[in-house]
């Protein structure tokens, strides 16, 4: 017994030492991640690109002009710099993830050196190309910022009342706020973003698609609800999904945002299909955190799957988050809807490829432009399956 005790205490000791070592690797990875992201370059560049996009679409008139050309060049510089940053930081994130998984303290020193070098090189790149230099106000027509969208100051409850008036609406607004709060926290977590970046390269290689096909983005509830306000036919379809026993589906559901909107605001059975594990896990863990008292009453299903394998049976409304998809991925999704979606179903798409199909008709004369996380004036197209 004594010997056993001795043996077990030695084992226990080595386990503790291992735990200490791995917790020091975890702490060190956290520190390096902070160093990598502390300057918030991706955030700044995204905000700038967002603002230049807004200036082009909403402030400067159509047609060719010197002002448009200058703003366009700035937008392109910001997007290029963002892409450069994402690929450099993404590579380092992959290394950090690997060090964490292999519990490898030694490689962290090399990664630290790489981070210092990449940060210095990137600052030099921004300076050399004057990416963050302001254009004169006479060109941009005011500050390089985006005014708040009309809906942004309205509460979730007020917005939800645009599509429903039943007595449970207030409770569902509180629930949706809680889920969105949780997802927003996650979005700003560098560790989580790093894990996501690290997964994208592998997924792109595995499927033969570009890394952009897996870009992260989110659409605010205020924009999503505005689609129903601006398109009454869509609103009627959405309001009757639950009573008609039809589902609301999101292709490319990301961390679950649009699925939660549908479940809480429309009360419809809501399903998401997302190919990236990190995003799928974020959605399911946000779902699991829903208060146990009401989680069973909400009909939400998240599928970690290629959307092209989804069943479209009994689907009354589907969202294609196609903005970043490769052309062949978007085309395959459209062909699937052409072949499988029932006549009478509606589609919200971030692109207009369905216009080429005779089985679909556009429901609004012009696309609806609304702010999303990657641009101030994203076009949304509403289609109806007619054959």
Ligand X SMILES: C[S@@+](CC[C@H](N)C(=O)[O-])C[C@H]1O[C@@H](n2cnc3c(N)ncnc32)[C@H](O)[C@@H]1O
Nearer of residues 52 and 251 to ligand X, judged by Cβ: 251
Nearer of residues 81 and 319 to ligand X, judged by Cβ: 319
DSSP 137-202: HHHHSS-SS-PPPGGGGS-HHHHHTTT--STTHHHHHHHHHHHHHHHHHHHT-HHHHHHHHHHHHH
300-304 and 269-274 as β-strands: parallel, antiparallel, unpaired?
parallel
Q: Tell me, what DSSP letter sits at residue 247?
A: E
Is 252 a residue that touches ligand X (CB under 6 A)? yes
The minimum distance between CB 261 and ligand X, in angstroms, equals 9
x-or-dash string of contact with ligand X, 166-205, rule CB under 6 A: ----------------------------------------
Pick the stretch among 178-186, 270-278, 287-295, 360-368 that binds ligand X (CB under 6 A).
Answer: 270-278
Pick the stretch among 179-187, 247-255, 289-297, 334-342 that binds ligand X (CB under 6 A).
Answer: 247-255
Nearest partner of 304 among 278, 325, 282, 273, judged by Cα: 273
Is 219 a residue that touches ligand X (CB under 6 A)? yes
Give the integer Cα–Cα distance in Å for 256 and 183.
9
The minimum distance between CB 5 and ligand X, in angstroms, equals 52
Percent of residues in the chain assigned helix, strand, coil, to nearest 5: 60, 10, 25
Is 279 a residue that touches ligand X (CB under 6 A)? yes
Give the integer Cα–Cα distance in Å for 115 and 127.
18
Nearer of residues 71 and 146 to ligand X, judged by Cβ: 146
Count of residues of this chain found to bind ligand X when the rule CB under 6 A is applied: 25
Helix and strand totals (H; E) in the chain: 14, 8
Q: Which are the contacts of 151, defined by CB distance < 8 A and separation ≥ 6?
A: 159, 220, 222, 223, 225, 226
Pick the stretch among 79-87, 135-143, 167-175, 246-254 that binds ligand X (CB under 6 A).
Answer: 246-254
x-or-dash string of contact with ligand X, 318-347, rule CB under 6 A: ---x-xxx---x------------------
State which of positions 353-382 bind ligand X (CB under 6 A): 372
The minimum distance between CB 47 and ligand X, in angstroms, equals 17
Strand partners, 247: 269, 315
Interface contacts to ligand X, rule CB under 6 A: 213-215, 217-219, 252-254, 257-258, 273-276, 279, 306-308, 321, 323-325, 329, 372
């Amino acid at each position: 017994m004594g010997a056993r005790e001795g043996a077990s205490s030695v084992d226990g000791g080595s386990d503790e030492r291992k735990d200490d070592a791995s917790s020091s690797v975890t702490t060190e990875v956290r520190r390096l991640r902070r160093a990598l992201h502390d300057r918030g370059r991706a955030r700044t560049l995204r905000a700038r690109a967002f603002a230049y996009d807004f200036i082009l679409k909403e402030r400067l008139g159509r047609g060719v002009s010197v002002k448009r050309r200058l703003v366009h060049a700035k937008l392109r510089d910001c997007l290029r710099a963002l892409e450069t940053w994402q690929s450099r930081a993404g590579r380092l994130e992959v290394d950090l993830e690997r060090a964490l998984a292999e519990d490898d303290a030694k490689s962290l020193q090399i990664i630290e050196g790489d981070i210092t070098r990449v940060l210095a090189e990137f600052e030099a790149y921004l300076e050399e190309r004057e990416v963050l230099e302001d254009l004169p106000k006479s060109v941009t027509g005011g500050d390089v910022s985006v005014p708040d969208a009309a809906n942004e100051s309205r509460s979730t409850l007020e917005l939800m009342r645009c599509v429903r008036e039943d007595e449970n609406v207030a409770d569902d607004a509180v629930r949706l706020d809680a889920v969105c709060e949780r997802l927003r926290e996650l979005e700003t977590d560098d560790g989580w973003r790093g894990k996501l970046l690290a997964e994208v390269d592998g997924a792109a290689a595995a499927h033969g698609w570009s890394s952009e096909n897996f870009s992260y983005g989110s659409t605010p509830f205020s924009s999503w609800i505005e689609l129903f306000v601006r398109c009454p036919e869509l609103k009627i379809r959405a309001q009757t999904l639950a009573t008609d026993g039809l589902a609301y589906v999101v292709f490319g559901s990301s961390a679950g945002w649009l699925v939660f909107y549908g479940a809480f605001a429309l009360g419809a059975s809501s399903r998401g299909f997302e190919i990236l594990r990190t995003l799928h896990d974020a959605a399911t863990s946000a779902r699991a955190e829903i208060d146990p008292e009401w989680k069973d009453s909400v009909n939400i299903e998240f599928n970690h799957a290629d959307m092209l394998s989804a069943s479209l049976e009994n689907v009354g409304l589907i969202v294609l988050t196609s903005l970043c998809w490769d052309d062949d991925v978007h085309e395959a999704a459209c062909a699937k809807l052409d072949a499988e979606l029932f006549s009478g179903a509606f589609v919200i798409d971030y692109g207009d490829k369905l216009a080429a199909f005779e089985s679909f008709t556009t429901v609004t004369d012009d696309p609806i432009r609304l702010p999303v996380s990657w641009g101030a004036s994203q076009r949304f197209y509403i289609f109806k399956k007619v054959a």
